[in-house]
Amino acid sequence: MEIVEGIAKEIGPERVGIRLSPFSSHLDVSDSQPEQLSVYLANALNKYNILYAHYLEPRVRRYMQHVQTSYSLQPARNAFKGAFLAAGNYNRENGNEAIASDRADLIVYGRLFLCNPDLPRRFALKAPLNDYVEATFYTQDPVVGYTDYPFLEETGYRMDS
């Protein structure tokens, strides 16, 4: 929290956001009470009046492995006073549903944006999405897996379909 406080004082809390993954067990680091931790962090961050908290959904617990869980972001959502962003395995439909049901203020699309450079347009048109290729994540190649995914026009998709 000292880092959040220092940054907020330096540049203003309205310019500060943080990404949190209290449900993650990446590299075998995990918390025995992740839901309670997520609420604790939300309450602690409220002191600094930062712009947003970006939480990773509990269903994304391990690197590249989606698992269902009884944990929920809702307690953290209820506790945090700023904008609440959620990420983790969202698509157009369940992202819109999460916003409509007030489970988040904003949905973050990481992998889908990576492989669909025109994602907002595809969502608006309800067009098919490119599949991401996990094997190309975190590689040294500056093109493969980053800038080689086709735009909608390049896929042969017809706008009048």
Residues 104 and 130 in one domain: no
Domain of 160 in residue numbering reads as 110-161
H helix runs in the chain, sequence order: 2-11, 34-46, 74-79, 92-100, 111-115, 119-125
Residues 92 and 120 in one domain: no
The tokens for 63 are: 């690197």
Under the banding of pLDDT at 50, 70 and 90, the label for residue 46 is: very high
Residues 76 and 23 in one domain: yes
Query: What is the three-class DSSP state of 86?
Result: strand
Residues 64 and 101 in one domain: yes
Phi, psi of 20 (to 5 degrees): -130, 140
Residues 101 and 120 in one domain: no
pLDDT, mean over the chain: 90
Residues 94 and 155 in one domain: no
Domain count across the chain: 2
| pLDDT score of 66 more than 70 | no
Residues 135 and 68 in one domain: no
Residues 135 and 160 in one domain: yes
Task: Choose one of 108, 132, 153: the last residue of a domain.
Answer: 108
What's the CA gap between 149 and 81, in Å, rounded? 37
pLDDT at 146: 82
Residues 150 and 84 in one domain: no
Query: What is the three-class DSSP state of 38?
Result: helix
